[in-house]
Amino acid sequence: MDHGCDINIVLPAGIAFVISACAVRVLMTQAGRWGLLDKANERSLHSGSKPRTGGLGILLGIACGSLAATAMGYPVAHWLSLLLAGVLLACVSLIDDLRDVPPLPRFVVHLMAAATPVLAGFGLATLAVPGASLELGVVSSMLLTVVFVVWSINLYNFMDGMDGFAGGMTVLGFGFLGLLGSMNGDVAFSMACAVVAAAAAGFLLFNFPPARVFMGDAGAATLGFLAAAFILWADSAKVAPLWVGVMIFAPFFVDATVTVVQRASRRERIWEAHRTHYYQRVVQAGWSHRRAVLLEYGLMIGCGGSAVLIVDSSPTLQWAVLSSWLGVFALCAILVRAREGASARLRRTS
């Protein structure tokens, strides 16, 4: 069966969107009965209690879209192996949503999920940057792959703390990855990306500020796993090197990584909940969720669009664009600190 640029790729994505939206809507009404409510505390950016069942709706949408693609004859064997690992991760994360799971068993499950891309043949065999690459040995390949996936699982959890944020990153991030797959003629990869992006869009209908539902750990951890796995899949399939995938998701990777490094340097417990990510700080300094998330969407579109445009360009141009984006993120950090200073002065004078 020759799919080419088959327009029927829209059908699995459409099913994922509809099922996700309907499931999220229904599950919202059951959250209280199941004890899946996110109650505001001193570290929250929201007030009151909100259902955190949205991730289950996303995952149901992804599953149904994937089954539809399978029924239509799309080659999704790799995708289904990742989905099964995602289900395991989602189950443990759901238990964590209901009652806290100790860090050690949760970490063991993260390691088990992180091994899946290696077993599926997506291990990071070569570490590439613009204009250069380094062949990795078996041990270093497995180690870097597992560390990358585990970090992505956790950073998605860290960054899922503002209305519309993680959902928007998923729609745009997987959308740009799918575009790269389409440009390279990899229909199976672009279809899988479209299914995930569409399922997240169904959730975003109810999560865009002001949010009526959150995705919870079950959604955030699983989407973080899928983000890393798909970036590795793209690298392995020669759709795009690892650094391009990381650039697409840079608004998450940069904020989470810089914040964790800063907290570690202050000898804080980096595994504990907090409100010191840059997106959290700008909201605490007076910006609304909607204004902050729209700015983040701009960064996401800029990073993703730049990555797609330069993927086949000269190394010189690629380094120039990467350096420019590092400058943009540094400027954003400076502006957040300036906003915090202005907000503090205003409070002292009022």
pLDDT, tens digit, 9 for 90 and up, residues 208-223: 999 999 998 899 999 9
pLDDT for 37 equals: 67
pLDDT of 300 strictly over 70:
yes
pLDDT of 40 strictly over 60:
no
CA gap 115, 339 in Å, rounded: 42
What's the pTM value of the predicted model, to 2 decimals?
0.93
- At 145-192, the pLDDT tens digits run 999 999 999 999 999 889 999 999 999 999 999 999 999 999 889 999
pLDDT of 296 strictly over 70:
yes
End-to-end CA distance of the chain: 70
pLDDT for 104 equals: 86
The pairing of beta strand 37-39 with beta strand 49-51: antiparallel
Q: Where are the domains of the chain?
A: 9-349
CA gap 321, 326 in Å, rounded: 9
3-state secondary structure of 286: coil
Of residues 348 and 107, more confidence is placed in 107
3-state secondary structure of 127: strand
Model confidence at 32, in pLDDT bands (50, 70, 90)?
low
CA gap 149, 86 in Å, rounded: 12
Residue 171 structure tokens? 């729609």
CA gap 296, 252 in Å, rounded: 10
Find where tokens 């990071």 sit: 124
Model confidence at 3, in pLDDT bands (50, 70, 90)?
very low
- At 71-113, the pLDDT tens digits run 887 766 677 778 888 888 988 888 887 777 788 888 899 999 9
Element (H, E) at 276: none
Q: How many other CB atoms are there within 10 angstroms of residue 147's CB atom?
A: 13
Strands in 74-210 per DSSP E: 126-129, 132-135
CA gap 222, 60 in Å, rounded: 12
pLDDT of 33 strictly over 90:
no
Share of the chain above pLDDT 70, in %: 92
Q: At what angle do helices 250-265 and 315-349 cross, to 10 degrees?
A: 60
Arithmetic mean of pLDDT over the chain: 89
Model confidence at 132, in pLDDT bands (50, 70, 90)?
very high
Query: How far apart, in Å, are the Cα atoms of 17 and each of 8, 30, 160, 311?
Result: 15, 20, 20, 29
CA gap 14, 61 in Å, rounded: 9
pLDDT for 229 equals: 95
- At 301-321, the pLDDT tens digits run 999 999 999 999 999 999 999
CA dihedral in degrees (23, 117, 111, 155; nearest 10)? -60
pLDDT of 46 strictly over 60:
no
Residue 240 structure tokens? 């795009």
Phi, psi of 121 (to 5 degrees): 90, 15
pLDDT for 149 equals: 96
pLDDT for 270 equals: 83
3-state secondary structure of 132: strand
Query: How far apart, in Å, are the Cα atoms of 273 and each of 42, 260, 267?
Result: 10, 11, 14
In contact, 121 and 229? CB cutoff 8 Å: no
Residue 326 structure tokens? 């590092």
Residue 335 structure tokens? 């502006």
Residue 350 structure tokens? 């009022």
CA gap 141, 47 in Å, rounded: 44
